C-alpha cells in the first residue's frame, strides 16, 4: 500500500492506494495544535495532536486499526509546495533532499516547514520505508525565461525573486488524465479553481505560462488571497499595518472573503446579496483576464479544462468563464476531477520502480 500525505499548516490529509493506484482509504487530522479532529474513512472523533509529529502518530495508528499497519506500507509520497529551482520532478527522499527542501523555506515559510514535518516524523517511525516528495512548483519549471523573470535588479533576481507557479501537481494529474483517453490537445487552457485558484497555459503537455508567481498569492481572486495587486499598494499596506499583518491580510483576509463576506463560493451563491454577487463577478472577471493572457502566450487555444472544487462543481462560474471566452470560437470543454493524491502516488511508484535494479 502507498501512503500519500498532504500536510498543511494545521492539518495532515492522507490517502492510501493499492498497487493498482486505486484509493482504498482516506482521512485527515485537522486543527493540529488546537481542538484536533481525526477523520478516517468518514468516521470523525476528537483527537490530541499538538504538532505534526503527533498527527502522524494518529494517522499511523488509525491505519493500523483499519488493518494497514506501517509494516504493510510499501512507500509514502508527500506533497511539498515549493521546490524552488532545485526540483523539476518528484524525488526519493534522502537527508540531502530534506536539506534542499528546508533551504526553500524562505520562499514558502507558510508551507514548506509543515510539508517537511511529516517526512521527518515518518522517517523516525519507519526508517526503512521509502519516501518520495512531489512539488507543486515542478510542473512549471518548463516556463520560458521571459515568462518567469521579473523586471527587477539582477541581485534581487539572484535572490530567488521570480515566477515559480503552483498547483503543479493538480495540473500534472489533469494532463495525465486527458492524455490517457486521447483528449490532450496541443494548446490547453487549464483552470484550477478552488479556495486557491490559478490558470495555466499547457502546450504539448508542458507549462508555458501561469497566473501564480513568486507566491500563491498572485493571479486570480481566491478564497482568502487577494490575487494580483500593485506592488506599491502592498508597500502602502505594509507602511500602515506592518509587514506581518499585511501578509496576513493578503493571504487570509482578502479575496472572496473581503469582497463578499465568505471564502466559500457555495456560501456566496446562496447568500444572494449584492456583496456576494460582486465577489463572484470579481472572481469571473479576473479568471477571464488571466485566461486571455495565457491564451495569447500559447498563440491560441484548442481546449479548456476545469478542475478543483469550484471548477468541477460550480456550473455558474464555469459557464460564465467559458462564455466570456467564446470569442475564441468553439473548443472542447473538459471537467477533470482533481486527483493530486493519485498523481503523487503514481509519481512515487514511477520513481521507486526506476531505482530498482533490474534482475537478469
Q: What cell was used for 274?
A: 449584492
The Cα 56–Cα 129 span in angstroms is 14
Phi-psi region of 7 (alpha: psi -120 to 50; beta: other; left: phi over 0): beta
CA distances for 149 relative to 22, 153, 166, 268, angstroms: 40, 11, 16, 36
139 close to 85: Cβ distance less than 8 angstroms: no
Phi-psi region of 140 (alpha: psi -120 to 50; beta: other; left: phi over 0): alpha
Phi-psi region of 270 (alpha: psi -120 to 50; beta: other; left: phi over 0): alpha
Q: What cell was used for 117?
A: 514535518
Q: What cell was used for 346?
A: 503514481
Q: Does residue 25 sit in helix, strand or coil?
A: strand
Q: Is 136 an annotated catalytic residue?
A: yes
Question: How does strand 75-80 pair with strand 2-7?
Answer: parallel
Q: What cell was used for 51?
A: 504538532
The Cα 192–Cα 179 span in angstroms is 17
Cα dihedral 12, 133, 121, 71 sign: positive
The Cα 135–Cα 224 span in angstroms is 23
Catalytic residue among 18, 43, 124, 136: 136
Buried b (16+ CB within 10 A) or exposed e, 186-195: ebbbbbbbbb
Closest among 268, 202, 256, 205 to 227, alpha carbons compared: 256
CA distances for 320 relative to 70, 284, 317, angstroms: 47, 7, 5
Catalytic residues: 136
Amino acid at each position: 500500500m502507498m501512503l500519500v500525505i498532504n500536510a498543511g499548516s494545521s492539518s495532515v490529509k492522507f490517502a492510501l492506494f493499492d498497487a493498482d493506484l486505486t484509493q482504498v482509504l482516506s482521512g485527515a487530522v485537522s486543527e493540529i495544535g488546537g481542538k484536533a479532529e481525526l477523520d478516517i474513512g468518514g468516521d470523525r472523533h476528537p483527537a490530541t495532536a499538538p504538532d505534526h509529529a503527533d498527527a502522524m502518530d494518529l494517522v499511523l495508528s488509525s491505519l493500523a486499526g483499519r488493518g494497514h499497519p506501517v509494516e504493510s506500507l510499501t512507500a509514502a509520497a508527500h506533497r511539498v509546495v515549493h521546490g524552488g529551482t532545485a526540483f523539476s520532478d518528484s524525488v526519493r527522499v534522502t537527508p540531502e533532499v530534506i536539506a534542499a527542501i528546508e533551504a526553500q523555506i524562505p520562499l514558502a515559510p507558510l508551507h514548506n516547514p509543515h510539508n517537511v514535518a511529516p517526512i521527518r516524523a515518518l522517517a523516525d517511525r519507519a526508517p526503512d520505508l521509502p519516501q518520495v516528495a512531489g512539488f507543486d512548483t515542478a510542473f512549471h519549471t518548463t516556463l520560458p525565461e521571459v515568462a518567469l523573470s521579473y523586471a527587477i535588479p539582477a541581485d534581487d533576481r539572484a535572490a530567488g525573486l521570480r515566477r515559480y507557479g503552483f498547483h503543479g501537481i493538480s495540473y500534472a494529474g489533469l494532463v495525465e488524465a486527458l492524455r490517457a483517453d486521447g483528449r490532450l490537445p496541443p494548446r490547453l487552457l487549464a483552470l484550477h479553481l478552488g479556495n486557491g485558484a490559478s490558470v495555466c497555459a499547457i502546450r504539448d503537455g508542458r507549462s508555458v505560462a501561469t497566473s501564480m508567481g513568486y507566491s500563491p498569492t498572485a493571479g486570480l481572486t481566491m478564497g482568502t488571497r487577494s490575487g494580483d495587486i500593485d506592488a506599491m499598494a502592498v508597500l502602502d499596506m505594509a507602511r500602515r499595518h506592518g509587514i506581518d499583518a499585511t501578509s496576513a491580510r493578503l493571504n487570509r483576509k482578502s479575496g472572496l472573503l473581503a469582497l463578499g463576506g465568505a471564502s466559500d463560493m457555495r456560501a456566496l451563491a446562496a447568500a444572494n446579496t449584492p456583496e456576494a454577487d460582486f465577489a463572484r463577478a470579481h472572481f469571473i472577471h479576473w479568471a477571464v483576464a488571466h485566461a486571455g493572457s495565457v491564451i495569447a502566450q500559447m498563440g491560441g487555444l484548442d481546449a479548456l479544462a476545469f478542475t478543483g472544487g469550484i471548477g468541477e462543481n460550480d456550473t455558474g462560474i464555469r459557464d460564465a468563464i467559458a462564455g466570456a471566452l467564446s470569442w475564441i470560437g468553439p473548443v472542447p470543454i473538459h471537467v477533470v476531477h482533481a486527483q493530486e493524491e493519485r498523481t503523487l502516488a503514481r509519481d512515487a511508484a514511477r520513481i521507486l520502480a526506476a531505482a530498482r535494479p533490474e534482475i537478469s
